[in-house]
């Protein structure tokens, strides 16, 4: 049993050590700055990015597709990763503008 205070921080180092000891050997130990995936949406985006990278590698190494076509898998992977950081590209902005406003009438 550990005493922990969120106000004073007392016991936090001991709690971290206890958690590490409990999971050690069951999973890879993260370093302190390892990001954690906490949302299903993020996990989905990461999985899709990995799938696109695998598809690119398969197409590239196998020579089954021309380079520009194989590269579409890289762009799809980048798009998935950009969704994690909230990146917005020009096409996104133009789509909202044209969908929302009456232009040229």
pLDDT value, residue 78: 92
Q: Do 43 and 23 belong together in one domain?
A: no
Domain, as residue range, for 65? 36-100
Q: Do 48 and 27 belong together in one domain?
A: no
Q: Do 29 and 44 belong together in one domain?
A: no
pLDDT value, residue 104: 58
Q: Do 42 and 30 belong together in one domain?
A: no
In a domain, 42, yes or no: yes
Q: Do 22 and 62 belong together in one domain?
A: no
Number of structural domains (the chain) is 2
Tens digit of each residue's pLDDT (9 = 90 or more) over 21-76: 887 767 665 676 777 788 898 899 999 999 999 999 999 898 888 888 889 999 99
Cα 13 to Cα 83: distance, rounded to the nearest angstrom: 34
pLDDT of 103 strictly over 60: no
In a domain, 41, yes or no: yes
Q: What's the Cα-to-Cα distance from 15 to each of 8, 10, 32, rounded to whole Å?
A: 14, 10, 14
pTM: 0.54
In a domain, 105, yes or no: no
Q: Do 57 and 40 belong together in one domain?
A: yes
Cβ-count burial 72-101 (b if 16+ within 10 Å, e if not): ebbebbeebeebeeeeeeeeeeeeeeeeee
Mean pLDDT, residues 12-20 taken together? 89
């Amino acid at each position: 049993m550990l005493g922990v205070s969120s106000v004073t921080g007392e016991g936090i180092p001991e709690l971290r050590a206890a958690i590490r000891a409990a999971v050690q050997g069951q999973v890879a130990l993260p370093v302190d700055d390892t990001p954690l995936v906490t949302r299903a949406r993020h996990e989905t985006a990461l999985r899709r990015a990995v799938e696109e990278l695998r598809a690119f590698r398969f197409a590239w190494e196998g020579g089954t597709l021309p380079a520009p076509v194989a590269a579409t898998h890289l762009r799809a992977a980048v798009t998935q990763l950009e969704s994690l950081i909230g990146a917005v590209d020009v096409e996104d902005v133009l789509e909202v503008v044209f969908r929302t406003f009456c232009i040229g009438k």
